[in-house]
Structure 1
């Protein structure tokens, strides 16, 4: 039986709609046409640069060897210089990984949140979040919801509650423009109030349960012969990678 996968926290927010039927449609579509592209190699590149100090050229070659499709390589390598720009400006005293945690969205639905790392400089802890979408990054109320939920998770951890939370936005300002690195301080983002937060999360759970009911009894689709021949557009709403 096919079943909608549980999205990560940031993908829940990015794919939130005021109409649960639109959420249902997106989740069902992702089961029937799962994404074939992931930005995950870039998270590895961040750690290699910041923690292991791997030479940049070696990271480029690693992506070329590890990612077979040329079109997917091009997407990742367009972001890599901006990551280097960010990392080269840092001199952290330490870098630590952060354990995965879960946000209780409601009605038993637990959504994972897995930050890549935190680092400390001069006694101050920094919590960067990397947003690699080229188009349609989190904005407006979706961005406010995301920051609100992450704030709650940080405040639950005494080791992270004083961290400075920054969003690193690697999107392009226009469709055909090159990507740019924009660093957004979460302190500048307005939060949603509790009533609105609950309303938005309940809408998502409604859409998720509608998708689950829609897919009940439907066989899980197999991989077609041509599946993966080309990656989807860079902003294919990949919920799970």
Structure 2
């Protein structure tokens, strides 16, 4: 039986719909085709560049040698130069990880929030959020929901509430094959109202528990019936990365 794990805050926003049955359908599909990789090597690359000043060529070679699956490896190597260009010339006073937080969605559902890192430049804390989806990144109401929820988290931490919050979107623009980095200043993203947020989260929570119930009633798939790794889109980390 496929198990429905609690999504991250970013995945909650990306998979939100205005109908709980649509949320359910998306979550069931993702639970049945859970991802087989994550983007941790790219987060490690950012820290190697910022903290240790490791040369880009060494980091890229480490990915070429260390990531066995060709599709995943090529995906990482496509994103890596965009990361390099963005952080080139930045000499932070500090770089540090941020501990996991939990966001209450409703009906006892707590969603994890795992910021990769923060860094300080010129006396200001920078809070970058990395979005690695090639297609269909969070946008419009979903982006507003995500930024509003992040605001709720940051305001609880005196060290982070004044941080410069930016979303680094590594998707490919419509009509283009290659990724480009778009830096979104969170201050430019409209927030949802408290009433809108409550309604949106209630719909998601209802969809989550509907998906959980549906999956619990399904029979286990035979191993030969499960989709193979070669059929998955390696760009899409799905729900749980």
Q: TM-score range by the shorter chain?
A: over 0.9
Give the CA deviation at 1:194: 0.3
Give the CA deviation at 1:225: 8.9
**Separation (CA, whole Å) in 2 of partners of 1:223 and 1:177:** 34
Q: Hey, what does 1:76 align to over in structure 2? A: 76
Give the CA deviation at 1:17: 0.7
> Residues 156 and 38 of structure 1: is their aligned pair in 2 closer, same or farther, counting only changes over 3 Å?
same
Give the CA deviation at 1:65: 2.3
**Which moves more between the two structures, 62-71 or 211-220?**
211-220
Q: Hey, what does 2:116 align to over in structure 1? A: 116
Question: Where does 1:16-95 land on structure 2 (aligned, <5 Å)?
Answer: 16-95=16-95
Q: 3-state DSSP class of the match of 1:183?
A: strand
**Separation (CA, whole Å) in 1 of partners of 2:66 and 2:14:** 28
Question: Where does 1:1-241 land on structure 2 (aligned, <5 Å)?
Answer: 2-221=2-221, 223-224=223-224, 229-230=229-230, 232-236=232-236, 238-241=238-241
**Separation (CA, whole Å) in 2 of partners of 1:149 and 1:227:** 34
How many pairs align? 241
> Residues 21 and 225 of structure 1: is their aligned pair in 2 closer, same or farther, counting only changes over 3 Å?
closer
Q: TM-score, with normalisation over the residues of structure 1? A: 0.93
Check conservation: 2:33, 2:227, Cα contact below 8 A. no
Check conservation: 1:102, 1:111, Cα contact below 8 A. yes
**Separation (CA, whole Å) in 2 of partners of 1:89 and 1:156:** 31
Gaps spanning 5+ residues in structure 1: where?
none
Taking only aligned residues, the RMSD between alpha carbons, in angstroms, comes to: 1.9
Q: TM-score, with normalisation over the residues of structure 2? A: 0.93
